[in-house]
Amino acid sequence: MKKHNYSAGPSILPQEVLEKAAAAILDFNNSGLSLIEISHRSKDFVAVMEEARSLALELLGLQGKGYQALFLHGGASLEFLMVPYNLMTKAGKAAYLDTGTWASGAIKEAKTFGETVVVASSKAENYTHIPKNYTVPTDADYFHCTSNNTIFGTQMTEFPDLGIPMVCDMSSDIFSRELDFSKFGLIYAGAQKNMGPAGVTLVVLKEDILGKTGRTIPNMLNLQQHIEKESMYNTPPVFATYTSLLTLQWLKNLGGIAEIEKRNNAKAELLYTEIDRNGLFKGTAVVEDRSKMNVTFLLEDESLTEKFDQSWKAADISGLNGHRSVGGYRASIYNAMPIESVQVLVDVMKELERTA
């Protein structure tokens, strides 16, 4: 019996993806060899990389629009510095929206490279909301935002229309909802939430935003190099890329982003409805900015903590503890989480109300 996996990341993946990934470790494509002991230049792995790159663009509706998709090493944290390295001009500046821990990590790295303007921050309110009505300097080299804030349970729904490239860290909600992705100059996402295992990062970018900084960029950090080498500048993270491809194939087969968004909306509605209805619980994020990926909530009466914790653990739920900066609980309900698992949690919450 599998657990109901609410882990915030690395996090739940579709069971069929896990089974195919495990099988490929033993024998890849009936080759008599493991996926992880063949050359990345072999026909079979080159086909994996090509399909992963193309399928990422297809699912985002970006094919034929001047975009490239790359599967790179380093996690989103390496993109925190690759973005300014590749986009911030030597004498220029960048604009950042501060919506949480990861946004401020990106800001910190950008400051190493040049002037970094924080256009708005909700830090003073412990990031319980997404700042609105901010102004982005028109002379900034780019604007950077974070679409979903895993720790604080908030999510952006509006993105500004700007005359400069918009860069977005979508690590925790990529492929979860329909957006006009062509509004973005560069999107990056660590795989380990909706796309695959930890160890690979998707970077989707409009090629024409590159080459304008006047900086000498080390090859391994140079996005133009990675494009020219078709995402194989060096040996790619083979297993994580392949498993991401399996997850993208799973998503396409069930109907793509349009279909998963419906399911994600239904899961989020089920859980938020219970949080708002059940007098024992309260959400931590302001209602209008609630995340559909990470649902953060508290017990109104902390003396019920032990009883609640025992109940959800007894129901085979795992990974529900909140991040230390928020406390309480965090239910991460990424793409691969079935609504049946959310119902199990809701039932535990109702049972607590009945017996408290």
Residues making contact with a second copy (CB under 8 A):
1-3, 5, 7-13, 18-19, 21-23, 25-26, 31-34, 36-40, 73-78, 80-81, 105, 108-109, 112, 190, 192, 197-200, 216-221, 233-240, 243, 316, 318-319
Distances (CA, A) of 276 to 6, 132, 171, 282, 332: 20, 24, 27, 7, 18
Q: At closest approach, how far in Å is the CB of 19 from a second copy?
A: 7
250 labelled as ligand-binding? no
> Which residue, 220 or 304, is less far from a second copy as judged by CB?
220
- Residue pointed to by tokens 């607590």: 352
Helix axes 43-60, 238-253, angle to 10 degrees: 50
Phi, psi of 208 (to 5 degrees): -75, 0
Q: Residue 4, exposed/middle/buried by CB under 10 A (0-12, 13-18, 19+)? A: buried
> Which residue, 102 or 181, is less far from a second copy as judged by CB?
102
Q: At closest approach, how far in Å is the CB of 79 from a second copy?
A: 9
Q: At closest approach, how far in Å is the CB of 124 from a second copy?
A: 24
Tokens at 309, concatenated: 């914790």
150 labelled as ligand-binding? yes
Q: At closest approach, how far in Å is the CB of 40 from a second copy?
A: 6
Closest to 320 in 3D by CA, of 353, 343, 345, 287: 345
Tell me the catalytic residues. Answer: 102, 169, 193
305 labelled as ligand-binding? no
> Which residue, 75 or 165, is less far from a second copy as judged by CB?
75
DSSP 253-277: HTTHHHHHHHHHHHHHHHHHHHHHH
- Binding site, by residue number, is 41, 76-77, 102, 150, 169, 192, 234-235
- Binding site for pyridoxal 5'-phosphate, by residue number, is 76-77, 102, 150, 169, 192, 234-235
